[in-house]
Structure 1
Amino acid sequence: MAKRKNVVSTIKLQVAGGQATPAPPVGPVLGQHGVNIGEFVQRFNAETSGRQGLIIPVVISVYSDRSFDFILKSPPAAVLIKKALGMDKAANTPGHETVGIITAEQVQEIVEMKAEDLNAASPEAAARIIEGTARSMGVALEGAMMEGAMMEGEVVEDSGEVVEDSGEVVEDSGEVVEDSGEVVEDSGEVVEDSGEVVEDSGEVVEDSSEGEEH
């Protein structure tokens, strides 16, 4: 029965797949723990040759005899999202700017790649984790963008109806002006009645003249 090795330290690094070198941060960190740097670089690059340039988390267990083993983890969700969308970097002000749109299919592909490392009770919960990471980067979900556009369209239509109601109020105001015109016409009739009174006064004068002749 092989004797179980005693782990004296655990090192966590993120290294580009197939591109590990003795340069910082790999070399100095491993050197502090007495790990054979050249051996790690060779083994890591061999195991990650199919993921060239992709950032890969690695957990290194260092034993008391300075030998080591390591476990490769899936790339961070943010790295996979940027790769899927061809992005160089995330938004500077997430929530105020959108730098990309991710589809449900792309989210599912990332979930499958990170299935072993995601602490999720179901595929749906895992998808929500990836979607949350995307939003924090300024990446919108395709379905959410469509729903937002539809809601904005409904608001514009409602606003148009309000404008039409305002036009009806203007028409009512015009009717009031017409009523005012009728009042002016009534005033003219009063003037005509006043003229008739003057004519009656003339007739009275004529009657007075006839009395003097008798």
Structure 2
Amino acid sequence: MTTQKKVSRQVTLELEAGNAAMVDIGKMLGPTGVNTRQLKLDYDEATAPQRGEIVPVVVTVFEDRSYALRYKTPPTAHLIRKAVGLEKGAGRPGSQTVAKLSREQLREIAERKLPDLNTDDVEAAMRQIAGTARSMGVLVAD
């Protein structure tokens, strides 16, 4: 019979892939007693191929101070900004357009985000991504 570890805390962190900031990790997980240096090394090693992107991770901390990491896909807004080459979205979305996203780019982002979305239909995922793009002032081309 296997005994399940008891979860003491679960936190989602958005960190830079391959180069997580110790400050962010320490601020959120310092009070739990987890070895933050080892957690940073584990995260950096696992996300090294995605350097330059933001990769969220769900950290589950157990009562014995061990942890488990579950990686998610980068935030939708980050992927849209990267695809169209923006630093940030529009100041007044709806009345201001700052970039144009092609259908191909929209499909690529939707396929990448699919594991984290509440659908398994690429067309539905594309509609969700298009909504985020519109809220950033990015026009979706037809």
TM-score w.r.t. length of structure 1 = 0.64
Q: Which amino acid aligns with 1:122?
A: D
**Higher Rg:** 1
- Separation of aligned partners in 1, 2:49 and 2:91: 31
Percent identity, aligned pairs only, is: 42
Give the superposition deviation at 1:21. 3.0
Q: How many residues align?
A: 142
1:21 paired with 2:21, answer: yes
Match of 1:104 in 2: 103
Query: 1:47, 1:136 → 2: CA distance?
Result: 32
Tell me how far 1:57 sits from its aligned partner: 1.1
TM-score (norm 2): 0.96
Within 5 Å, give how 1:1-214 maps onto structure 2. 1-23=1-23, 25-120=24-119, 122-143=121-142
- For 1:121 and 1:58, the matched residues in 2 are separated by 21
Q: Matched residue of 1:3: which SS?
A: coil
CA distance in 2: counterparts of 1:99 and 1:5, whole angstroms: 49
Return the alpha-carbon distance in structure 1 between the equivalents of residues 133 and 14 of structure 2. 20
- Segments of 4+ moved more than 2 angstroms: none
Unaligned 5+ runs, structure 2? none
Q: CA deviation at 1:56?
A: 1.1
Q: Judging changes above 3 Å, is the alpha-carbon distance between structure 1 residues 121 and 48 closer, same or farther for their aligned structure 2 residues?
A: closer
Specify every segment of 5 or more residues in structure 1 that has no aligned partner in the other structure, as ranges. 144-214
Determine the C-alpha separation between the residues in 2 that align with 1:84 and 1:50: 18
Q: Partners in 2 of 1:26 and 1:92 — Cα distance?
A: 30
Higher strand proportion (structure 1 or 2): 2
CA distance in 1, matches of 2:100, 2:21: 35
Deviation at 1:121, TM superposition (A): 5.3
How much does 1:46 deviate?
0.2
Q: For residue 26 of structure 1, what is the amino acid of its counterpart?
A: I
- Give 1:120 deviation, angstroms: 2.2
Q: If each structure's helix is expressed as a fraction of its own residues, which one has the higher value? A: 1
Matched residue SS, 1:133: helix
- Higher RCO (CA 8 Å, separation ≥ 6 residues): 2
